Amino acid sequence: MHPSAPDLSPLKSARRNKLLDVALHLFTAQGFRATTMEGLAEAAGLSKVTVYGYFSDKDAVFEAVAVRLAERLRVAVMGQLQTDAPVVDRVINALTVKHVMIHDLVRSSAFAVELMAQKAVVNRIFSDLDTALIAQIGDALADHQAARILFNGAMGIANAAASRSEMETDIARLVGGFLG
């Protein structure tokens, strides 16, 4: 099946969502290589046949998890950009929420490097997401070049931060200093 949510009955949609929840947990807890379709089926309390009815293989599961995560990130960032707060605060909050979510879901995993290195299609998913988010931040600022600079700066901060708290503080300083 295609990685984006196909048209499913409510029961099948709930089962697919459960599989994606369990898969995200397994990927972050034990890494991509150690996660198997059999382990996913067991952890989800489903048969292997049922799991294969939703996903052709582990790569398809991983891609579906990435698509779902990208959509959650997009919604969270857009939610911050659409508030009535001053634009500086909206941009700080948008960039912070994106990187906090990634930190909490992926970067805090012992397998973060392995997970981030998986498959060109996942890179495309997040590259497309980043392009869309930069455009939205650019619209909020009425300055797409500033949005690109701030977005990439925040990504550098997130990649290098020793802690979530440091990351949040440094993103606020970057945006506040640049736009303030």
Threshold 0.75, pTM exceeds: yes
- Check: CATH 1.10.357 for 59-179? yes
Unique residue bearing structure tokens 């939610």: 79
Q: What is the mean pLDDT of residues 161-171?
A: 96
The pLDDT-based confidence of 111 (bands split at 50, 70, 90) is confident
